[in-house]
Structure formats: C-alpha cells, structure tokens
A and B are shown apart, each in its own frame.
Chain A
Amino acid sequence: MNPNRFDLIVIGGGLIGLSVATAAAECGMRVCILEAETCGRHASSASAGGVRSLNRHPAEIPLARAALPLWRDLADTLGAECGFKASAQVRVAEDAEAMEALERRAKTTSAMGYDHERLIGPDALRDRIPTIADHCRGAMVVEDDGFADPLACLRAYRRRAAALGVKVYEGAPVQSIVSTGSNGLVVETDSGRHFASLCVNAAGAWGAGLSAAIGEPVPLDRVALQMIVTAPVAPFVAPVVGTEGRKLSLKQTAAGAVVIGGGFRGTVISRADGRDRGRPGARTIAENLANAVRLFPHLAEARLVRSWAGIEGIVADGLPVIGPSNRLPGLVHAFGFSAHGFALSPLIGPLVADLLEGRPGNLSLSAFAVDRFDPLGNTPACGHGKNSRETIRHA
C-alpha cells in the first residue's frame, strides 16, 4: 500500500486539526496531519485557554454548551492532563450602559431558551470577587464554564494522536488540493503528495486561503492575537473575568501568575519563507493592561514578564466555517474560529468525524456554512492566495 495513502488528510496541526485527527482515528480511519510549521504554533498556543460559553454568539451557544462535558472528561479521553479547571466566567459591567447591554443580552438568550447566563448586581459581584474595583456595577455569570492549559492540551492531543497512529508531518505547507474523481483527493506539499478520499481544512488563519483557491472565498482577517502574563501575585480572583464593552480576559493560574488577553492585536510580520509571525505590540500591551487595572487596581504593582502572539483568523461575522465544501467532494472545512476556537476544540473533532462519516449530528451547522458569504456560488473556481502555500490548483 502506498505509504502516502490515507483515509483522511487533516490540513493544519492546531488544536482543531489535532482534535479532528484523533476523533477520526478513534473511528478507525488512517489519518495524517499536514502542518505548515509546527503543531499549535499560532492561535493554539497563543490562546488564553478560556472554556467559555458566556457571551457567545447565539449560533455558537449550542456548540459551546455541548463542549463543556467533553472538557470535563478530556483528560480521561486523551489519557493526559489538559489543565482543565471548572470555574465561573464573569463578564463585568463597569457602568450603567454596560449593565444595560448585559440586561439586553440576558433577555435575548433567555428568550431563546438558554438559562446558563445569570445577571448579578454589585453586592453579589463583590461577594464573589472581593478585590474588584468599587465602580463595577454587576456582571453576567456562567457558573459551569472553566479554563484549561492550551500547551498541555496540545501536548495531550499530540500524544493521543501518536498513540492512535496518526502521521504528523510538520514543516509541510500544502501547495494544492486536487480532486482526481473516483480516486479521491491529492494533497501536495513541498515534500511530497498525499492521497486520501477525505480531507479536512483545519488551517486556522490560513484556511481561507485554501478555501478561496477552490472557489469558496471567506472574508477572513489574519491577526496577531496577543497575550500577556505577570509574575505571580497573591491569590485575588477565582473566576475568569472579562469586561462588557472593553477587551479583557483575565485569570489567575494556580501558580499565581495573571494571564491577560481579550483580543488585543499585535502585528503580523510577513516573512519571505512564508512563516509569518505574530508579534505583540507595545501600545496594545499598555491598553490591555489598562483594562485589567481598571477592574483590579492593585495589579498596577504586578510585574509584566512576558507577552506573546499567534496568528488567528477572524471571519467577518465572527463565526467559524464548519461544514462540507460545495466544490470539492470529500473536503470538510473547520477553520476561522475567530478567537474562540479553543473552547470548542474537543467538540469539533467528533463533530467533524460525524460529518466525514455521514452520521447525522444533532447540532445545527447552517450558521457556519462556507457559502454563507457567497450564497449564489458565483465566484470563479480559481482563487489565489498571497502565499504559495495558499495557491491551490483545482482539477
């Protein structure tokens, strides 16, 4: 048998690709991952690690809620620690306007039949987080969310994938996906061709390049999501905290370090070798810190020790692309998670495996369809990405 022949080729070795690859391998498929750089190099390792169903886009709420039980069992499923910790997520309102926004949100979601989000007033907020700044008016809370350690997750998934016999090719940027009709798909990299009847585009921020090249354009912005971390301070906050109307995600690790993110963007540095990099920006670090200090003034005395950034794809409507390609039979898209993919990652694997094997799922994916920006399908069948790795031939 051709050693480059697989049942499934997963393009992209981030958490989404790893989740898909392990889920498919669990179903007995022979799987390989083609990763352009190293597994989890970008958005996966620059993730804040939030496992959040709080304040999700309505279309994403069912997915985020369905992922929670999988998170609780993930260490057992993968046979390795993922650093998951059940914890409340709290979205703080700093002023009356923000509180009104949270109230509107509560009305919308309860009208849709959800009851996981709960509003609390200033006293309850202070009971829960005694160190919160005096001006905070209240918050929206989800009790059964949590957070996990992205690096531990990456490692656990990699080990599990290896144990299941998934072949992982790193440094293998995909040059083209070609359909050969009855013989399935040919995926070409710098180092060789790989054959399979099924393929998943889990290329994250680069996923739109692949989809555009086969005539399925998706408006996606490649951004450098940045994270910062302080030296350990005395324990002061248990839940993961965000702010309504300001970009912030803050949590304290068991070791005392404060991990701060929330969607601030650094710079994408384009490099000649195609290995673009995210770089944190001095100004955005200052803005992010300011948002944290507004809620916890004592953090002004903490020490910032490190910042990092990874490249993530933000789709125009803030929702991922999940579902089968309309152009290339056998191809399923799962990319563009728009900075909230981490929390969904344990779900996306089994969900995509169901799609690949034609099993009906019980979650609606219509909001995530690849053609939602181009419902008439009137785009020319050949697109071009900027990088060679995004240039895909269509047979």
Chain B
Amino acid sequence: MIDRRSETKNAEIVVIGAGPAGLAAARTAGEAGRTVLVLDEQPAAGGQVWRNAAEVMRRSDALARSYHGAEAALAGLDNDRIDHRPGAVVIDARAEPAGATVTWLTREPDGTRRIEETEAAALIVATGAQERALAFPGAELAGVMGIGGVQTAMKQGGLVPKTPDGAPGLVLAGQGPLLLLTLIQIRALGGRVDAVLDLSEPGAIRRALPHLPSAIAGDPGLMADGARLLAGAIRGGTRRYRHVTHLRADGDDRVEQVRFRSAGREESLPCSILAVHDGVIPNTQVTRLLDLPHEWDEPQQAFRPRVLQDGRVDGLPVWIAGDGAGIAGAGMAGRRGADAGRDAAQTVGGQSVSARSGASPDGLAARRFIDTLYAPLPVTAHADNETLICRCEAVTLTSVRKAIADGGTGPNRVKTFTRCGMGPCQGRMCGNLLTRIIAEETGEAPDTVGALRIRPPLKPVLVADYLASDPAPVPEAVS
C-alpha cells in the first residue's frame, strides 16, 4: 500500500517543477488563496536556468548575470499556502476531468525517501525543456555530454570544465544561443575552450535574415542579448570550425579525440570533454505519461502538448506552463506560468482573478528568426549506420531502420522490435530521434507517426522506497 500515514495534506493545486514557470504559477495560485504543493526534483528551486540560485547570486560571477529575475521569482515561494518540496521525484501522474493524482517520492531530512500520493483539483506541469539529442558516432563515450551538463557543473559545483596542463582539451560542438553563452561563461570563469565546431547548416544566416526585422521590432531586448552573445563569442578568439559535418568522438571508454570535416578537410583534435548542443525541446515525459494530446512543432522538430489559452489542456484540470508547452525561454516561461497559476486558481476557487499578463500564445516575436537561424539539424546529419540511437539499450541506427522496414511504422512498434526506448530513461533521450527517423523513412507526418508511450515510474525507483508501509508479516524462518 502507498503509505497512508502521509503527512502531506492533499493540495488544491500541484505544480510539478520549480523553474521560472513553476515558480510563477505557484506564486499566482498562492496569491489567489489556493493551497499549492510544488514538487521539484532539484535540491533548490530555480529550475535549470536558475539552478543553485542562492549560491550563484552570492558568487556574483559571470554566471550570475543570467539569474536576472531569479530573486523575485524565488521569493514567491514565501507564502504559507505554498508547500515546496525540493528533492521530490514524480513517478506517476493521472488526470481526469474531476482532478489529478500525483505519485511521488519524498526526500526526508535523513536522505531517505517515502512514497506519497497526492490528489489535487488542478495540476500544473512546468517541467521545462531538455536538450535535443544529437546522434553521432561515439556520443555514448564518457566525456561526451550535452552543454546542459556543463551548465549544471558550473552552476551546481562552480566547476569549470578545465583540463590539466598539456591534457587534450575541451571542445564544444553544435549550434544555438546556449552554446555561445556557455563558451563565454567558461572563458569568463577562467576555463579554456580549445575549439568550437559550428554544426549549423550553410545558408542558415541567409535564410534567417528576412525574419530579422520583425524579430528586432518584436523583441528588441532579446535580440540585443543575442547580438552581445555573438560578439562576445567571436571576441574570445577561440578556434572555430564552420560547416562541420561527419562529427565523431573516438576513444576506448573515454573520448580521446574528436574527428570531423570542415570546409572539405578532414580534421581531428585531441579532446577529453566534448560538449554538444542542438537547441532544446519541450520535456514531454510527464505530459505523455498523462496521455495528453500532443502536436508536432515543425520548426522546432519536436512534440509539444496541445493547450488552449493560458496553457490549459482541453477537458482536463491540467495546465502546461513554460518551455514544456513549447520553447520560448525563461522570460516567457514566467509569464506563461503566472497565467496558468491564475487560471488554475480561478478554476479551482471559482472566483474572478486579476488580469492576465498578456503573454502571446505564440510565445515569442523572435522565434521565427531563431528557429530559422538555428534550424534543428537533420536527424541523421552526423549518424552512421552503427551510431547508437538508444544508448540505454544500445540500439543502432541500422537496427532502427531495419525494424521500420519490417513494419515498425510507429515508435512503440520499433520499441517492441528493438528495445529502443525501453531502458531506464524511457526514451527521454531517443524518443524525439525515433519519431523523426520513422517519419523520414516512411514519409509519414510526425503527428501520424506518434511518440513513445511513457509509463510509470517516470524515473527508476528503489524497490524499498516503493514498498508497502505495512506489508503482511513474514513468517519465522524454517529451522
């Protein structure tokens, strides 16, 4: 049985995630008089973008500049109606028209966990973004990571990826603002980036230019930030390779060198850390677990949950706030979170509340420019036949293609054929790749192809944490 001695009172509103969107949603819902339970996996609120906020802001180093707005947002938790649970791991969630149920693991002061089940009148999912997976040979080697991993290390531990004198170095590969920001931050914190491999496709700038005027007019602040990023990245003088193709990491267990082609030439660089990035996509693990309708976002090459105004899901007391409903960045996430919290509070409480923030449903005026400039790489741009698509179960591109040719016209069919997406991460990494590969191979639209089904538990759970609190007594040992 799930522990019934639970001390958690059932909240009126459960918010999953305490990044910019979740914090804003909790604040407006709390201010509207609702009781709110905020479940967040991280040890402190702030999400990925404001990770470890208190300490980073105190250090006030190069990282702290991207924590603008964090202090005010975090202060929103200071409300008796808001119960914030850091270190909470959501393992299951169900929603019906009458309400939602969330099963989660607590983090007790002594570090142990306990399973809890919370029923709520409304559920706000603010689980943010995740990095878009990039499939290339050697991506599974130790030392190869997403830029997000570098960000976490810098924010959480103040660790700048440095390599000892004379050791092969740090290489960044990919495209997008986060890559540029990370480059600047590493240098500002005293680290050294040996090379940047620009994976963006030739002609992207030319294609994006027509969208530049409306982007500047619609979101001048963001575009100015972007211009500063570009200038800062170029000024640093880090060696940059353009139009990179055929990216691969070599090494036995760890990456030792990175190979690629640039301007038609074969290149190789010694490398002990390769951080890659191809933008971010909505994290849809919770919304898929809830079995909500999703739609394919063609420019961003990813699914997003289908929502109405204020992020509400049609027919259910569920709201999706922030990048989890479509990538729009931290500023927009806060506004969309506030709207979702307000709307959920109004729905639960039945009273009228203050006006909306006016967040546009599109999210961002500059989006078309950014989406075109950093158009997601074709799904197999850097993959060869033996490249792993699913790292948990070591499933190669060839096996996936063979399963598709064998009648695997959907991700779940390919999963049963190959075990692709069956590992502990439940396809969080490979799911997007899988949908895109099937779409490419079959010529079907991604909306028709669909996505991997997600099942509880969302994250691996220690059996002991999941056990009955009062199981039937076990008889004495047989002598």
Chain A interface residues (CB < 8 Å from chain B): 38, 40, 45, 94-95, 122, 133-137, 151, 154-155, 158-159, 230-231, 269, 277, 279-280, 282-283, 285-287, 289-290, 292-294, 299-308
Nearest-neighbour CB distance to chain B for A132, whole angstroms, equals: 10
Nearest-neighbour CB distance to chain A for B452, whole angstroms, equals: 12
**Those 5 A-B pairs whose CB atoms lie nearest each other, nearest first:** A134-B477, A300-B464, A303-B460, A135-B475, A282-B103
**Which residues in B have their C-beta under 8 angstroms from that of A303?**
424, 460-463
* Structural contact, B291 and A155, CB atoms closer than 8 A: no
Nearest-neighbour CB distance to chain A for B314, whole angstroms, equals: 13
Given contacts A151-B416, A301-B464, A305-B426, 6 further A-B contacts (CB under 8 A): A95-B475, A154-B416, A155-B417, A293-B467, A301-B463, A305-B457
- Contact flag A300-B474 (CB < 8 Å), given A231-B424, A282-B456, A286-B115: no
- Interface membership of chain B positions 452-479, coded 1 if the CB is closer than 8 angstroms to chain A and 0 otherwise: 0001110011111011100110111110
Nearest-neighbour CB distance to chain B for A228, whole angstroms, equals: 9
The answer for the CA separation of A74 and B449 in the assembled complex, in Å, is 32
The reply to whether the CB of B422 lies closer than 8 angstroms to some CB of chain A is yes
* Structural contact, A294 and B474, CB atoms closer than 8 A: yes
Nearest-neighbour CB distance to chain A for B379, whole angstroms, equals: 23
Nearest-neighbour CB distance to chain B for A169, whole angstroms, equals: 13
Nearest-neighbour CB distance to chain A for B69, whole angstroms, equals: 36
Closest chain B residue to A287 by CB distance? Answer: B468
Interface size class, chain B = 35 or more
The answer for the CA separation of A287 and B460 in the assembled complex, in Å, is 17
Closest chain B residue to A229 by CB distance? Answer: B422
* Structural contact, A304 and B475, CB atoms closer than 8 A: no
**Which residues in A have their C-beta under 8 angstroms from that of B467?**
286, 289-290, 293, 300
**Which residues in A have their C-beta under 8 angstroms from that of B477?**
134-135
The reply to whether the CB of B234 lies closer than 8 angstroms to some CB of chain A is no
The answer for the CA separation of A279 and B290 in the assembled complex, in Å, is 11
The reply to whether the CB of B413 lies closer than 8 angstroms to some CB of chain A is yes
* Structural contact, B416 and A269, CB atoms closer than 8 A: no
The reply to whether the CB of B1 lies closer than 8 angstroms to some CB of chain A is yes
The 8 Å CB contact of B468, one of A45, A94, A151, A290, is A290
Nearest-neighbour CB distance to chain A for B193, whole angstroms, equals: 36
Closest chain B residue to A260 by CB distance? Answer: B463
**Which residues in B have their C-beta under 8 angstroms from that of A294?**
471, 474
The reply to whether the CB of B117 lies closer than 8 angstroms to some CB of chain A is yes
- Contact flag A293-B463 (CB < 8 Å), given A158-B407, A280-B456: yes
* Structural contact, A306 and B115, CB atoms closer than 8 A: no
The answer for the CA separation of A281 and B38 in the assembled complex, in Å, is 23
Q: List 5 A-B contacts (CB under 8 A).
A: A280-B455, A280-B456, A290-B467, A303-B461, A305-B457
The reply to whether the CB of B2 lies closer than 8 angstroms to some CB of chain A is yes
The answer for the CA separation of A285 and B406 in the assembled complex, in Å, is 34
* Structural contact, A306 and B426, CB atoms closer than 8 A: yes
Nearest-neighbour CB distance to chain B for A148, whole angstroms, equals: 14
The reply to whether the CB of B236 lies closer than 8 angstroms to some CB of chain A is no
* Structural contact, B466 and A122, CB atoms closer than 8 A: no
**Which residues in B have their C-beta under 8 angstroms from that of A136?**
478
The answer for the CA separation of A40 and B476 in the assembled complex, in Å, is 43
The 8 Å CB contact of A282, one of B2, B460, B475, is B2
**Which residues in A have their C-beta under 8 angstroms from that of B466?**
285-286, 289, 304
* Structural contact, A306 and B422, CB atoms closer than 8 A: yes
Closest chain A residue to B407 by CB distance? Answer: A158
The answer for the CA separation of A218 and B424 in the assembled complex, in Å, is 40
Chain B interface residues (CB < 8 Å from chain A): 1-2, 91-92, 94, 103, 115, 117, 291, 406-407, 410, 412-413, 416-417, 422-424, 426, 455-457, 460-464, 466-468, 471-472, 474-478
Closest chain A residue to B92 by CB distance? Answer: A282
**Which residues in A have their C-beta under 8 angstroms from that of B412?**
38
The answer for the CA separation of A94 and B463 in the assembled complex, in Å, is 21
**Which residues in B have their C-beta under 8 angstroms from that of A277?**
291
The 8 Å CB contact of B462, one of A134, A290, A301, A306, is A301
**Which residues in B have their C-beta under 8 angstroms from that of A269?**
291
The answer for the CA separation of A154 and B417 in the assembled complex, in Å, is 9
* Structural contact, B2 and A283, CB atoms closer than 8 A: yes
The answer for the CA separation of A155 and B407 in the assembled complex, in Å, is 10
Nearest-neighbour CB distance to chain B for A23, whole angstroms, equals: 21
- Contact flag A135-B478 (CB < 8 Å), given A290-B468, A300-B464: yes
Q: Which among A136, A286, A294 has the greatest number of chain B C-beta atoms within 10 A?
A: A286
Nearest-neighbour CB distance to chain B for A225, whole angstroms, equals: 14
* Structural contact, B463 and A137, CB atoms closer than 8 A: no
Nearest-neighbour CB distance to chain B for A229, whole angstroms, equals: 9
* Structural contact, B423 and A282, CB atoms closer than 8 A: no
The 8 Å CB contact of B463, one of A38, A282, A299, is A299
Closest chain A residue to B478 by CB distance? Answer: A122
The answer for the CA separation of A128 and B115 in the assembled complex, in Å, is 35
**Which residues in A have their C-beta under 8 angstroms from that of B1?**
283, 286-287
Closest chain B residue to A123 by CB distance? Answer: B478
* Structural contact, B416 and A45, CB atoms closer than 8 A: yes
**Which residues in A have their C-beta under 8 angstroms from that of B2?**
282-283, 286
The answer for the CA separation of A287 and B469 in the assembled complex, in Å, is 10
* Structural contact, B455 and A306, CB atoms closer than 8 A: yes
Nearest-neighbour CB distance to chain A for B350, whole angstroms, equals: 27
Q: Which among B424, B455, B463 has the greatest number of chain A C-beta atoms within 10 A?
A: B463
The answer for the CA separation of A134 and B476 in the assembled complex, in Å, is 8
Closest chain B residue to A121 by CB distance? Answer: B478
Nearest-neighbour CB distance to chain B for A339, whole angstroms, equals: 19
**Which residues in A have their C-beta under 8 angstroms from that of B457?**
304-307
The answer for the CA separation of A286 and B464 in the assembled complex, in Å, is 10
* Structural contact, B456 and A307, CB atoms closer than 8 A: yes
The 8 Å CB contact of B424, one of A159, A299, A300, A305, is A305
The answer for the CA separation of A269 and B94 in the assembled complex, in Å, is 11
- Contact flag A155-B416 (CB < 8 Å), given A282-B117, A289-B463, A303-B460: yes
Nearest-neighbour CB distance to chain B for A387, whole angstroms, equals: 18
Closest chain B residue to A126 by CB distance? Answer: B478
The answer for the CA separation of A371 and B40 in the assembled complex, in Å, is 56
The answer for the CA separation of A269 and B417 in the assembled complex, in Å, is 25
The answer for the CA separation of A289 and B457 in the assembled complex, in Å, is 13
**Which residues in B have their C-beta under 8 angstroms from that of A308?**
455
The answer for the CA separation of A135 and B473 in the assembled complex, in Å, is 11
**Which residues in A have their C-beta under 8 angstroms from that of B92?**
282
* Structural contact, B468 and A286, CB atoms closer than 8 A: yes
The answer for the CA separation of A102 and B165 in the assembled complex, in Å, is 70
**Which residues in A have their C-beta under 8 angstroms from that of B474?**
94, 133, 135, 294
* Structural contact, B423 and A305, CB atoms closer than 8 A: yes
Closest chain B residue to A95 by CB distance? Answer: B475
Closest chain B residue to A230 by CB distance? Answer: B463
The answer for the CA separation of A288 and B270 in the assembled complex, in Å, is 51
The answer for the CA separation of A269 and B413 in the assembled complex, in Å, is 21
The answer for the CA separation of A40 and B413 in the assembled complex, in Å, is 10
Closest chain B residue to A258 by CB distance? Answer: B463
Closest chain A residue to B408 by CB distance? Answer: A155
The answer for the CA separation of A282 and B460 in the assembled complex, in Å, is 14
Q: Which among A155, A277, A304 has the greatest number of chain B C-beta atoms within 10 A?
A: A304
The answer for the CA separation of A199 and B412 in the assembled complex, in Å, is 29
The answer for the CA separation of A109 and B196 in the assembled complex, in Å, is 73
* Structural contact, B460 and A290, CB atoms closer than 8 A: no
The answer for the CA separation of A3 and B306 in the assembled complex, in Å, is 40
Closest chain A residue to B419 by CB distance? Answer: A151
* Structural contact, A137 and B455, CB atoms closer than 8 A: no
The answer for the CA separation of A269 and B92 in the assembled complex, in Å, is 15
Q: Which among B103, B474, B478 has the greatest number of chain A C-beta atoms within 10 A?
A: B478
